[in-house]
Chain A
Amino acid sequence: MNGTPWTGYFLDGRAAERHAVTVAFGTSALEIADADGLPLATWPYAELRATERISAKRIRAGQVLRLARGEADEARLVLSEVLADDAPLDGSRLTELLTLAPQLASRSRLSRQAVRRFGLATAGFAAVAAALWFLWPPVADLTAGLVPRSWEDRLGRRLVEELLATGKVCNEPAGTEALDRLAARLTESLTPPHPVTVTVVDRAEINAFAAPGGHILLLSGLIETAGSAEEVAGVLAHEVGHTVERHGMRSMVRNLGAGLIFELLSGGSSLANVAPVLTMLAYSRDFEAEADARAVELLAAANIRTDGLADFFARLAREEEELPQVFAYLSTHPAAALRQIATARGSPAGGPAMTPEDWAALQGICGSAE
């Protein structure tokens, strides 16, 4: 075919020295010989591999071809003058080589087999993730159930202490008494009894927390925003609902485990930062709905009208634009609109949450009102 020998250099994978070589096409292998014509290596066509993919159409004069034998061998054959200047591709040495070793020009590295493997791996990964997603909550709840009440109580107290460090505790005696009376009424119907301690913190944000062990925190911004005692009662009942269902402990265990699982599965990729937030939101949505349902039961048992919580959220939704601090509440709770649906069962039947005097005292629990 082509009379002139193909020249280049050979790296034998044993020393770093380059050997000037000429290459000839044998019957079943490429024959590599040094400058004196002594054979250096014989590489079967079937085992040839290009370290960089060859695209016959894009090959240009002066381009270099780097060949290896198989995957593990470090020897390299570097061929120059792949295509002589102005020479046609047809009938060239390159075409001849590509005919003998067609795998050198195979276009895509992502073979059908690779696509199938990646598809299977992805499906498997998704299945494991889904299984963990559904299996983890019951396992976590079981684990949370094993935690002794005294531990839970201590944990809750520690968390509350940390939160209390962010603001002054409001404890005007009349207001505290009014609040304690309301809390006692709400928990009266519970068997076994669930003691709760309610603390008001002087902070402008509209928010409330239920820490493990029945430690409930109300921020004074919430009491100031509420339009009636029934709205506060609704929120308090919701937090008592969290306590009764041990949501604090359960979400702690759930989130810890979910965080660990995602950290391990995603291995530091950016997914790791988003996923725990997503699970936390998903878990908390279940818990919020559960607490809402509990709240309605508790309010009804205490003979308090049950639409207070719904009213409160309706107000938040209406005043959203006027009150930027509302977002502080919404960010840790599902959208107000969703909550309204959940609490829509509330009804105006039932009595008031407290006497007008008690309500006035509760509004003044932080001392001199602004």
Chain B
Amino acid sequence: MTDATFSAAMTPPLGADHIAAKAPGPKEPGRRVRYDGRSLDLFWIYLKNLVLTFVTLGIYRFWATTRIRRFIWSHLRFLDEPFEYVGTGKELFLGFLKAMLALIPIFIGLGVLDFLFFQFLPEFYWASELLRFTIIMSLIYLGTYAAQRYRMSRTLWRGIRFQQAGSAWVYLGLAMRGLLLTVLTLGLYTPFVNVRLKSYEMNNLSFGSQPFAFDGQGKDLFKPFLIAWALALPTLFLSMFWFAARSYRYYASRLSVAGLRFAMPVTGLQVAWLQISNLLLLVVSLGLLYPVVVRRTLDFWCQNLAVEGAVDFKKISQAEQGPKTGEGLASYFGMDAVGV
């Protein structure tokens, strides 16, 4: 597509939509997402968070996460309109307490079961371990989906909420079935389960009343995966970066929302360099360069995300209210990804 079809989506910093329609073309065609947060500003928030979290014996961490998100969201701009994070520390804290209540009986039950197996059925001890693994994995998948639902419901753009519909249990079912098949096929099922999960997630995502659509199919990624899989050992698994980049390109090309289409022309080398250099920065600085890593990561994805198409913003209306508390389960399993 060319810039001509883009007209309705272009908006100068402070104009209303009908003014925007006449605006001149952008300097970099297709590149619409920007991150303009200053690392130093984020660094001060990060430092203050560290101190307060330490002083409060960890209680402040929910409010710390919220501050970081508010900063990052507000400096991420699409079509010159910033995102806004409207979640609160209190919601995360209450979500954590809820998860704690749910986990107490599960953990105690697992402990007792483990002991009983060890005592009376030592030859079937593997069954207890398998059960524990299955339950922990299930909690991780459930937590991930619930966290995504909360995060999306607290993300605002142009005053409109995102919404992650769908059921965490259905997602869990897909994930566990995929995990089983992946194990049985020595990993070859990986691209199918990856795409299936991405598909469920994306087809249940919407911006206000506008649903996202994703029509990816696992078979399209099977050949690249087979190549990466075959080359994994000789390349010390570096071939997986190439596969990851291939997946990102594919996912972006299969995604659409409200008449917009996406492209993410990244290469394996770029992804490998980004991740390895970020890891090194974090390790060498003992985590203090986290703000720099955030900026590098966001810059990378923003610069590589191309968006094309035209949107009729009048037709996008508000989404339903999201959950009242947030992502307690996910925080138990270290799911707070870098940058969030």
Contact = CB atoms under 8 A, between A and B. Distances in A.
A160 interface: no
Contacts of A64: 13-14
B284 interface: no
A233 B311 CA distance: 85
Contacts of B332: 267-268
B13 A80 contact: yes
B81 to A, nearest CB: 8
Nearest to A21: B16
A106 interface: no
Interface in B78-106: 82, 84, 86, 96, 99-100, 103-104
A125 B107 contact: no
Contacts of B99: 267
B161 interface: yes
Interface stretch (A4-12, A175-183, A287-295): A4-12
Interface stretch (A71-79, A184-192, A333-341): A71-79
Contact of B111 (A19, A129, A256): A256
Contacts of A7: 14
B97 to A, nearest CB: 9
Contact of A14 (B13, B17, B52, B318): B318
Contact of A121 (B11, B59, B96, B159): B59
Interface residues of B, number: 51
Contacts of A301: none
A268 B331 contact: yes
Interface in B219-247: none
A268 B59 CA distance: 12
Interface residues of A, number: 42
A268 B334 contact: yes
Contact of B159 (A16, A122, A151, A158): A16
Contacts of B207: 16
B84 A19 contact: no
B126 interface: no
A183 B315 CA distance: 86
Given A16-B313, A18-B15, A20-B16, A267 B100 contact: yes
B313 A17 contact: yes
A129 B13 CA distance: 52
A155 interface: yes
A13 interface: yes
Nearest to A129: B57
B160 interface: yes
A14 B57 contact: no
A134 to B, nearest CB: 17
Interface stretch (A166-174, A258-266, A314-322, A349-357): A258-266
B108 interface: yes
Contacts of B334: 268
Nearest to A150: B119
A52 B156 contact: no
Contacts of B100: 264, 267
B233 to A, nearest CB: 31
B313 A260 contact: no
Output the residue of B16, B52, B208 with the most chain A CB within 10 A.
B16
A133 interface: no
A59 interface: no
Interface in B285-335: 313-318, 328, 331-334
A154 interface: yes
Contacts of A122: 55-57, 59
A7 B334 CA distance: 45
Output the residue of A18, A260, A263 with the most chain B CB within 10 A.
A18
Contacts of B118: 155, 158
Given A20-B15, A51-B74, A126 B57 contact: yes
A322 B171 CA distance: 58
A269 interface: yes
Contacts of A263: 107
23 contacts: A7-B14, A8-B14, A11-B160, A13-B159, A14-B317, A15-B318, A16-B208, A18-B20, A18-B158, A74-B159, A74-B160, A75-B159, A80-B13, A80-B14, A121-B59, A129-B57, A151-B119, A155-B118, A158-B122, A263-B107, A264-B103, A266-B58, A267-B96
Interface of A: 7-9, 11-20, 35, 51-52, 64, 66, 74-76, 78, 80, 118, 121-122, 125-126, 129, 151, 154-155, 158, 256, 260, 263-264, 266-269, 271
Given A11-B159, A16-B208, A20-B18, 12 more contacts: A8-B14, A13-B159, A15-B313, A15-B317, A16-B317, A66-B84, A74-B161, A118-B52, A118-B59, A158-B122, A263-B107, A268-B334
Interface of B: 11, 13-20, 52, 55-61, 74, 82, 84, 86, 96, 99-100, 103-104, 107-108, 111, 118-119, 122, 156-161, 207-208, 313-318, 328, 331-334
Query: 4 closest A-B pairs (Cβ-Cβ)?
Result: A11-B159, A20-B16, A16-B316, A80-B14
